[in-house]
Amino acid sequence: MTIALEDDKIWHKGKAYRKGYTTGSCATAAAKVAALMILRQQIINQISIVTPSGVTLQLNVEEPLIHGDQASAAIRKDGGDDVDATHGMLIYAQVKLRQDTQITITGGPGVGKVTQKGIGLPVGSSAINKTPLQTIEAAVREVLGPERGADVVIFAPEGESRAERTFNGRLGIEGGISIIGTTGIVTPMSEESWKRSLAIELEQKRANGLDKVILVPGNHGERFVREQLQADTNLVVTMSNFVGYMLQETERLAFRHVVLIGHLGKLIKVAAGIFHTHSHIADGRMETLVTQLALLNAPNSLLQQIYRCPTTEAAMELISAAGYEHVYDAIAQRIVERVQQMLRYSPQPFLCDVILFSLDNIPLGSNRPVAGIAEALR
């Protein structure tokens, strides 16, 4: 594998940690090379793709096979030094030309099926996330051009057994792995050095005279700021799961206004006093949601239904149908109170605001009107 970066490693305490690439990149590369082999009618042993983050990957092709108007190929997943359940497995794509110009993408054996609402994919569909779906289609279209179509099947023979070591079952994804990845690249980093790198960005912004900052868990939060809040994205800093750490750093650096913006399923944990939001550390999403609904006198039948939901996203439909959307404002206010408790001994605590949104990038709730928060950020 060749990653076209100035440095394909992360350094921590004198040790180099090698970067890798996602299952989404594997599927994209496998589909692209399979389509290319159909057109050329020859075996291809290496393929190049550009990831969503703009990084070029030159990947080795395994088990290439052509049979007339269809072909298949595999790419071996390499997580670098960030080894996970899918590291080292083969991700395959089978491409078959169609009589029309449509491109369809489905999951085959070893790719999980979505069985419950709440993860942003339709029930019954293959567990191929939106970004890989887009990159697979774009790669195949690049090869075939506008006048040809194809059926693409992504499959992973080891997927079902490997998925037992993931959280897919808890998310209602059954029968295999997920094809995921928003950037296409896996960046390994120890937690302490990762946290420090995030804090350095805060220090840089403060040194440049900024006293306001927007903390988001990841890419979805930044997109919300850009599209819905229309605020200056220069104010945005990623906090990942390290909510408490980053809040303490903003206090240390004397920021005056901090806005937490994120998906309900991530930030609701803070309402329960959980300031490290990785699922390996703690959960409590549904318990917190049920508690907040109970405080609003929601009926027990609704509380029982919500408690059994696998994700907060799945619970949103029930909340909406019952007319309890105001619970989101209550949760946002509770998050602010938790932050204030954390800062109770600070001589000059910053102003904290919270905005929660859904997977569809729609605002759900806030501790005060969103327009007022946006105005305060200008």
Question: Is residue 33 helix, strand or coil?
Answer: helix
Does residue 5 register a pLDDT over 60?
no
CA 13 – CA 23 distance, rounded (Å): 29
Contacts with 377 (C-beta within 8 Å, 6 or more apart), sequence order: 212, 214, 229, 231, 232, 235, 257, 259
**Domain count across the chain:** 2
The pLDDT, as a whole number, for residue 10 is: 60
Kindly state whether residues 180 and 217 are assigned to the same domain. no
The helix/strand/coil state of 353 is: strand
Contact 127, 177 (CB under 8 A): yes
Confidence of residue 169 (pLDDT cuts 50, 70, 90): confident
Give every CB contact of residue 245 below 8 A, 6+ residues apart in sequence: 195, 199, 239, 275, 276
Q: How high does pLDDT run on average in the chain?
A: 91
Which pair of tokens denotes residue 100? 């029309």
- For residues 118 and 311, is the Cβ–Cβ distance under 8 A? yes
Domain enclosing residue 362, as ranges: 191-377
Cβ neighbours of 377 (radius 10 Å): 18
Inform me whether the pLDDT recorded for 79 exceeds 80: yes
**Tens digits of residue pLDDT in 63-76:** 999 999 999 999 99
pLDDT score recorded for residue 4:
43
Pick from 93-97, 118-122, 167-171 the range whose average pLDDT is largest: 93-97
| Cα gap 321→196, rounded to integer Å | 43
For the chain, percent of residues with pLDDT exceeding 70: 94
Q: Residue type for 283, please?
A: D
Q: Is 24 in the same domain as 161?
A: yes
**Are residues 279 and 369 part of one domain?**
yes
Do 154 and 45 belong to one domain? yes
Same domain, 361 and 342: yes
User: By CB neighbour count within 10 A (0-12 exposed, 13-18 middle, 19+ buried), where does 15 fall?
Assistant: exposed
Residue 276 has a pLDDT of 94
Pair (147, 206) in one structural domain: no
Residue 188 has pLDDT above 80, yes or no: no
Q: What is the pLDDT of residue 1?
A: 43
100/209 same-domain check: no
Between the alpha carbon of residue 356 and those of residues 270, 274, 303, the distances in Å are 12, 16, 21
- Res 163: pLDDT: 94
**Which percentage of the chain shows pLDDT scores above 90?**
73
CB-neighbour burial class of residue 311 (10 A; exposed 0-12, middle 13-18, buried 19+):
buried
In this prediction, residue 223 carries a pLDDT of: 86
Q: What is the mean pLDDT of residues 159-184?
A: 88
Band the pLDDT of 6: cuts 50, 70, 90: very low
What residues contact 86, with CB distance under 8 A and at least 6 apart? Answer: 23, 77, 79, 162, 177
pLDDT of residue 193: 63
Pair (54, 111) in one structural domain: yes
Tens of pLDDT, residue by residue over 115-151, are 887 677 899 999 999 999 999 999 999 999 999 999 9
Same domain, yes or no: 287 and 316? yes
C-alpha distance from residue 22 to each of 73, 150, 178, 185, 268 (Å): 17, 23, 11, 6, 28
Give pLDDT, residue 230.
84
**pLDDT tens track for 14-33:** 566 788 899 999 999 999 99
Last residue of a domain, one of 154, 186, 218: 186
CB 21 within 8 A of CB 29: no
Domain boundary among 148, 166, 186: 186
Question: With 60 as the cut, is the pLDDT of residue 315 above it?
Answer: yes
Binning pLDDT at 50, 70 and 90, where does residue 167 land?
confident
Same domain for 201 and 175: no
CATH number at residue 117: 3.30.2110.10
User: Residues 355, 239: one domain?
Assistant: yes
5 or 277, which is more confident:
277
The distance of Cα 320 from the centroid of its chain, to the nearest Å, equals 24
Residues 213 and 230 in one domain: yes
H-helix segments, 76-165: 130-144, 159-163
User: According to the model, what pLDDT value does residue 181 have?
Assistant: 84
Q: Where does a domain end: 149, 166, 186?
A: 186
pTM (global) more than 0.95? no
Please tell me the predicted confidence (pLDDT) of residue 9. Answer: 64
For residue 3, name the pLDDT band (cuts at 50, 70, 90): very low
